[in-house]
Structure 1
């Protein structure tokens, strides 16, 4: 069954590269209107140049998920330009690749983490998720339906040695997702989490991390790993699913377990 998303509107943060870009690309290929929001203007323009075509209805907008004024400005622009929002994908995030964590990566001592780096990760991965959802969910409440997605990581990563503050930031955001799924369900809004299920080749993966995985013959997932789960969540099959976590490399098992016949 081919998924037809004509008339379906998606806003995705951090959609200019990595898994966000791949999700935007696959949603566009099925007819959705996709608005990509990201901080880096050059990456946004590069993504637009690649994705823009007669067949694709794609827009780009610069937004800082740690800045409420920036988010509200985009939310106002969105309301002026579009009448509805079907899917909000909170995908923007930062991890161990940010400046300031170099010493921690080498020593493994949490007390070597600069407070500024810890704060940036929580501001982006937790506060940013809250602020974007706060700005755009009222439109979904008004229309009486919608789907909110948060891109997270594996449960093991949240508590694994050496994963402060990235792991705890994802854990906090997932807890918030669980609460929101309960608070928004009676308003017709579904809230779910997606994650790749393992180490993935994205901008968050540092060269030394990639080298470590290769050297130890450990699997490296590609950023397309979330394409099938996000299409499923955008489809009619998932209209009533909320409070779930979908794992990319285990997604086919999920479909089989629940006897769902879904083809992307």
Structure 2
């Protein structure tokens, strides 16, 4: 039986766990070939092994990629050209969270002036510059093909303004500006650029395990699988011509219904 995304080749950054892993599994389930991209190491290897054990032995690929390194991005692009010869969808998802600058960021938010410069720069380098570098690396191949899709994962506007959320909030606010400009820059190239976000705090590795109960008492955590339906849609033929959109996963069904009118 032919699956909906058969022969669709997807690279997902930050896919060794959390939202990235959930999106990879959803796309694999529909027949896509998926390169699970993340910093090299046992975590990445284990994630790919786990997916292969679920039956995706010939469609899942391990792609070591440090989004902060131009050389690493170049190597990933070369791998795609050599192994696949094309890329249909790029999902920019790699990121680090507030726990890197304040482990108790939700329980005890700290003001921006207490964030260390190195902590600020490190997060921006991954969450914003990383999106830029990876998109910059793969876009020429998409332009050469005359088609392609870029999906940038972002977050709620409320989080961008939330107390104690520097630098994570600013990193994703900038991601949204970057995405909007990318969509405009690529309109004539047959390449779409859309944003996708869960719609609230998610149960991922960005939330420290020792604070999970405390945080769950204050917030209703969304499971990463919420990204499954919208990511499959954005990679499918149904999303042809859709660009510059900001899609909230928890509101996907209503968004799709409105879009279909």
Residue matched to 1:258:
259
Residue matched to 1:141:
143
Instruction: Kindly indicate whether residue 245 of structure 2 is the aligned counterpart of residue 237 of structure 1.
Output: no
Q: Which runs of 5+ in 2 are unaligned?
A: none
Q: Distance in 2 between matches of 1:243 and 1:259?
A: 16
In the TM superposition, 1:9-24 aligns within 5 A as: 9-24=9-24
> Is contact 2:161–2:169 with CA below 8 Å preserved after alignment?
yes
Residue matched to 1:226:
227
Residues 113 and 28 of structure 1: CA distance in aligned 2, closer, same or farther (over 3 Å) = same
Q: Distance in 1 between matches of 2:37 and 2:104?
A: 31
TM-score (norm 2): 0.93
Residues 109 and 237 of structure 1: CA distance in aligned 2, closer, same or farther (over 3 Å) = same
Q: Secondary structure at the match of 2:222?
A: coil
Residue matched to 2:70:
68
Residues 225 and 20 of structure 1: CA distance in aligned 2, closer, same or farther (over 3 Å) = same
Residues 107 and 190 of structure 1: CA distance in aligned 2, closer, same or farther (over 3 Å) = closer
Alpha-carbon shift at residue 168 of structure 1 (Å)? 0.5
Residues 244 and 168 of structure 1: CA distance in aligned 2, closer, same or farther (over 3 Å) = same
Residue matched to 1:207:
209
Residues 173 and 220 of structure 1: CA distance in aligned 2, closer, same or farther (over 3 Å) = same
Larger deviation, residues 146-155 vs 101-110: 101-110
Q: Distance in 1 between matches of 2:153 and 2:40?
A: 19
Alpha-carbon shift at residue 212 of structure 1 (Å)? 3.3
Residue matched to 1:8:
8
Q: Distance in 2 between matches of 1:32 and 1:252?
A: 22
Alpha-carbon shift at residue 104 of structure 1 (Å)? 6.7
Residues 19 and 102 of structure 1: CA distance in aligned 2, closer, same or farther (over 3 Å) = closer
> Is contact 1:154–1:195 with CA below 8 Å preserved after alignment?
yes
Q: Distance in 2 between matches of 1:251 and 1:104?
A: 29
Q: Distance in 2 between matches of 1:186 and 1:71?
A: 25
Residues 104 and 48 of structure 1: CA distance in aligned 2, closer, same or farther (over 3 Å) = closer
TM-score (norm 1): 0.92
Larger deviation, residues 43-52 vs 130-139: 43-52
In the TM superposition, 1:157-196 aligns within 5 A as: 157-196=159-198
